[in-house]
Amino acid sequence: MIDRRQWIIGGIATGLLGRAAAAAARYDAVVAPAARRDVPAGRRFADLGTALAAAPRTGGYRLWLARGDWLGQHVVDVPGVALVGEDRQRTRIAFTAASGMIAPDGKHYGTYRTATLTVTAAGFTARNLTIANDFDGIAEMRKTGARLLSDDPAGPQAVALRLAEGSDAARLDAVDIHSHQDTFFPDAGRVTLSGCMVSGSYDFIFGAGSALFDQCEIRSRLRPDPQQMRGYIAAPSTLRAQPIGLVFDRCRLTRDPGVADGSVFLARPWRPSKKFADGQYGNPDAAGMAAFLDCWLDAHIAPAGWTEMWYTDRSGNPRHMLQPEDARFGEFGSRGPGAHAARRLAALSAAAAARIRRLATRSISG
C-alpha cells in the first residue's frame, strides 16, 4: 500500500509548491508529452494506459499526470494506485461513451461499460485532476428527431468514474468528476471524497457503495428536455444490511445557469434488478441510504426534497414505484435558498445526524 507520508508530500509538491518543487518529487511513473522537461522524476510514459499497465501486481504505484486531455477508457485493477494531477482542471482523464452508443464490439455500451475510469482494486487514491465523460448530453436532449432516451436501456447514461467490485478504501482529494447522467457510480466498497466536485443532472451519484462526501460541491447541470425537466442528485441502491450509503457532510449543492428553481430532488431510491430462482426483478434487499448533513442548498432543490423511483416487481410490472418512505433518507441542518422546513420526509434529529456522521467517518474514512 501507499506510504501516507509520501502521498501527502507528493500532493503538496504538485498542488502548492509549484513546478520546481514538483520536479524534485519522485514518482513511480510520470505521464507527460515528450517535449516536457519540467516534470517530476520517474519512469516516463507517453500515455496513461501504458503507465497503468506497468503497475506492479503487488500494489503501491504513484503516478504523476501532466496537464492535458488523456483520452480513453482505463481500469485500475491493482491495489494502491495513486494518481496525482498537475492541474485540477487541466489534467483531464476523459472519454466519450453513452449507454445507447455502439461500442467497438458492435453492441450497445450499456451503462456499466461507459465509464471513463473503472476501479476494481483496493486503496485507489486520486488528487488534483478531473475525470470526465464528455458525452454531450445537452446536444442529445436538444435533438428534434430520434435520440437516446433517459429511461430506455439505449439511453444517454454516461459514467465518468465507476468503483466496481474489488474497490475499497478509496480516497479522492480535490478531484472533479463531470458528466450529465450517471456521472459517479460508487457501487462497491468505501470511498471518501474531500473537497471534490461532482456534476450532472440525472441520478448523477448512484450505486450500492458507501461514500462520504466531505465539504464537496455537488453541481446540478442544465437539462433542457421538455419531457424530462426534473433532476435527481442521488440514487442509492444500498443493501439493508449496510448502514451507510451516500453521506453528504457540509457540502454545497449548487447549479449551473438555467437550472430552474425547485427542479432538482435530493434523492430517489434505486432498486436494481437481480436474478432469483423465481425470476428477475428488483432486489428487495436494496433500500437506498442517503443523508445530507449541514449542507448549503441553492434554490434549485425541490421543496419536497425526495421522490419515488420505479422498479420491476416480482410479478413483472416494470413500473412499480418505490417510495422514499421505504428507503433510508435523511436531512439535517440544511441552509440556503433551497432549504425548506416542510419536506416529504421529516428532518433528522441532532442525535440521528451525529450518529450517521460518526458511523460514516469511522466505517469509511477511519
Residue with cell 450509503: 245
Phi, psi for residue 26 in degrees, rounded to 5 = -125, 135
Other beta carbons within 10 angstroms of residue 16's beta carbon come to 9
Contact 99, 111 (CB under 8 A): yes
Three-state secondary structure of the chain: CCCHHHHHHHHHHHHCCHHHHHHHCEEEEEECCCCCCCCCEEEEECCHHHHHHCCCCCCCEEEEECCEEEECCEEECCCCEEEEECCCCCEEEEECCCCCCECCCCCECCHHHHCCEEECCECCEEEEEEEEECCCHHHHHCCCCCCCCCCCCCCCCCCCEEECCCCECEEEEEEEEECCECCEEECCCEEEEECCEEEECEEEEEECCEEEEECCEEEECCCCCCCCCCEEEEEECCECCCCCCEEEECCEEEECCCCCCCCEEEECCCCCEEEECCEEEECCCECCEEEEECCEECCCECCCCECCEEECCCCCCCCEEECHHHCEEEEECCECCCCCCCCCCCCCCHHHHHHHHHHHHHHHHC
In whole angstroms, give the CA distance from residue 221 to residue 332: 24
Q: For this structure, is 47 an active site residue?
A: no
Query: Annotated catalytic residue: which of 182, 214, 225, 249?
Result: 182
Would you give the end-to-end CA distance of the chain in angstroms? 16
Q: For this structure, is 298 an active site residue?
A: no
Contact 197, 253 (CB under 8 A): no
Query: Annotated catalytic residue: which of 203, 214, 225, 298?
Result: 203
The residues carrying an active-site annotation are 182, 203
